[in-house]
Amino acid sequence: RKDLGRDGYSFFDSSMNANAQEYLQLIHDLRFAVERGELVLHYQPKFDDPAQPVVGAEALVRWNHPSRGLVLPDDFIPVAEKTGLITAIDNWVLNEACRQLKIWRDTELGADWTVAVNVSAVQFRHPQLIETVRQALDRHQLPARSLILEITETTTMRDVEESLAILQQLAKMGVKISIDDFGTGYSSLMYLRRLPANELKIDRGFVRELKQDTEDAAIVSAIVALGKALSLNVVAEGVETMSQQKLLAELGCNSLQGYLLGRPMAADDFMCAADDRLQT
């Protein structure tokens, strides 16, 4: 570890399983990833009801690195947030997702689909956010209600008053707000009541080992009750097994996302999969 600095401290995450050289290389490569067209979006289907057709997709970014292959967001989004590169990435994601959604909505099958885009903590507070969203919708001639912005509970909890102001502007424009990774922060009821959101996404952590009569099950049913009381759609993410799906239904949660129903996939594959579902 001699390359980590003379005075014995490291400004690199110890979790970063790469040496300093490699980390710097990553930042360097990432700087050009957008302009070189190396980013791609995969789309994971969302269901209001697993027995019904797809209602939309969540866009998930991947980096097609020339030598490393497909890099997942957890390996470059945190770096992008620290270096400020996230703004260019998030803007690209927003525009690309809107471009794709427009193509889908011009087909019979996808006419009512929505697309959900993840907004990083940095991007959420960017002064240009509202304008950027408005421009993306205009450019691709999409109704605001066809776009869902996923913002984590933790992000909205930081400076609550400012968050409310931003969310109110977005809601006024007509875009939908989904509170991602819900249950991991500590939103108060008072706060939630004021939050102009449309959806709560139960964090995958509560679904992973979901079993009857466990703490996780109690938390899921509490979130479902909360959603009902506040007229919010409640979605469970990370659904991998039939038994999870069944139990979620028993707990009152039918809106689902997860490998069981569909993995994130390239746009063309997404359309084929949605079409196949209707045929069978």
List the end-to-end C-alpha distance of the chain, in Å, as a whole number.
Answer: 57
Helices (H), 116-152: 121-124, 129-139
Residue 257 near Ca ion by CB under 5 A: no
Residue 153 near ligand C2E by CB under 6 A: no
**List of residues 6+ apart from 46 with CB closer than 8 A:** 54, 55, 56, 57, 58, 114, 116, 235, 255, 256, 257
| DSSP calls for 83-104 | HTTHHHHHHHHHHHHHHHHHHH
Residue 180 near ligand C2E by CB under 6 A: yes
Residue 146 near ligand C2E by CB under 6 A: no
Lay out the site mask for Ca ion across 62-101 (x = CB under 5 A, - = otherwise).
Answer: ----------------------------------------
Residue 72 near ligand C2E by CB under 6 A: yes
For ligand C2E, which residue of 148, 247, 258, 270 counts as binding (CB under 6 A)?
A: 258
For Ca ion, which residue of 181, 195, 206, 262 counts as binding (CB under 5 A)?
A: 181
Residues 104-163 that bind Ca ion (CB under 5 A): 118, 150
CB 257 within 8 A of CB 248: no
Nearer to ligand C2E, 38 or 240 (CB): 240
Binding segment for ligand C2E (CB under 6 A), chosen from 30-38, 67-75, 103-111, 129-137, is: 67-75
Residue 227 near ligand C2E by CB under 6 A: no
Query: What distance lies between CA 137 and its chain's CA centroid?
Result: 18
Residue 45 near ligand C2E by CB under 6 A: no
* Spatial separation of the C-alpha atoms in residues 31 and 82, rounded to whole Å: 12
Nearer to Ca ion, 118 or 146 (CB): 118
| Inter-CA distances, 9 with 23, 73, 110, Å | 16, 27, 53
For ligand C2E, which residue of 114, 120, 187, 255 counts as binding (CB under 6 A)?
A: 120
Residue 100 near ligand C2E by CB under 6 A: no
Query: Which two tokens mark 200?
Result: 């709560």
- Picking from 255, 67, 274, the residue whose alpha carbon sits closest to that of residue 176 is 255
Rg (CA), the chain: 20
* Residues at the interface with ligand C2E (CB under 6 A): 44, 60-61, 72-74, 77, 90, 93, 118, 120, 150, 180-181, 204, 237-240, 258-259, 264
* Residues at the interface with Ca ion (CB under 5 A): 118, 150, 180-181
